[in-house]
Amino acid sequence: MIRENPTNEFKREYEFDIKKEVVAFANSRGGIIYVGRDNEGNSYPLDDVTGTMTKISNGVRDGIRPDVTMFVSYDTGDSSVTTSVSEGTNKLYYLTDKGLKPSGVYVRQGESAAPASFEQMSIVTMAFPVASLLTSMTTVLSLYRLAVCTHSKQLKKMRCNDSTVVGAPLAAPA
């Protein structure tokens, strides 16, 4: 019997936050998410396999940036959905609604997805060949802006906002 481990994740049913597992696998070494299995790997049949697969694929397509869909495949069988995630080549992947910050970037740590620290975000970005220079520049600038906003004594003066850090104009604290 398969058990949860660094490359296998079990979910009894679809959960909205399944996207964070996809992000963690894409930012790490890849893995498989089994929806329709309990934490011990026992079958827990889904009522609507097709609907579950649609929810997962739509969430991955709409809720993760950069686009990770080319690294994700789906399979249905025995009343479950298997989502295979390969390691991505355009890291850092993050949840669209959270942005490029620790609460939006996940990595696989042991048997679970964990928010990435600033250090992990920097290491992942620098250690992996980035597919696009523009993406890597955006990532570095976003991390810089977030660090400035987080650590600046003039937080109110700079009007930093977690959800707009990526698009904020670059300004050094006075």
Q: Say what the pLDDT of residue 158 is.
A: 52
Longest dimension (CA), the chain: 61
Q: Is 70 exceeded by the pLDDT of residue 90?
A: yes
Q: Per-residue pLDDT averaged across 138-166, rounded?
A: 56
Please tell me the predicted confidence (pLDDT) of residue 121.
79
> If you average pLDDT over residues 79-92, what whole number do you get?
94
52-61 pLDDT, tens digit each: 999 999 999 9
Q: Is the pLDDT of residue 134 over 50?
A: no
- Residue pair 128/91 in contact by the 8 Å Cβ criterion: yes
Model pLDDT, residue 39? 86
The answer, yes or no, to whether residue 112 has pLDDT greater than 50, is yes
Average pLDDT of the chain to the nearest whole number: 81
Supply the pTM of this predicted model: 0.72
- What's the rounded mean pLDDT across residues 103-112? 93
Q: Is the dihedral of CA 109, 113, 114, 118 positive or negative?
A: positive
What was the pLDDT predicted at 97? Answer: 94
Q: Residues 6-38: pLDDT tens digits?
A: 999 999 999 988 999 999 999 999 999 999 999
- When pLDDT is averaged across residues 120-139 and rounded to a whole number, the result is 57
Are the beta carbons of 100 and 143 closer than 8 angstroms? yes
The CATH H-level superfamily of 8-116 is Schlafen, AAA domain (3.30.950.30)
- What pLDDT score does 133 carry? 45
* Domain extents in the chain: 8-116, 132-174
* Predicted pLDDT at 164: 45
Residue 68: which of 83, 52, 51, 53 has the closest Cα? 83
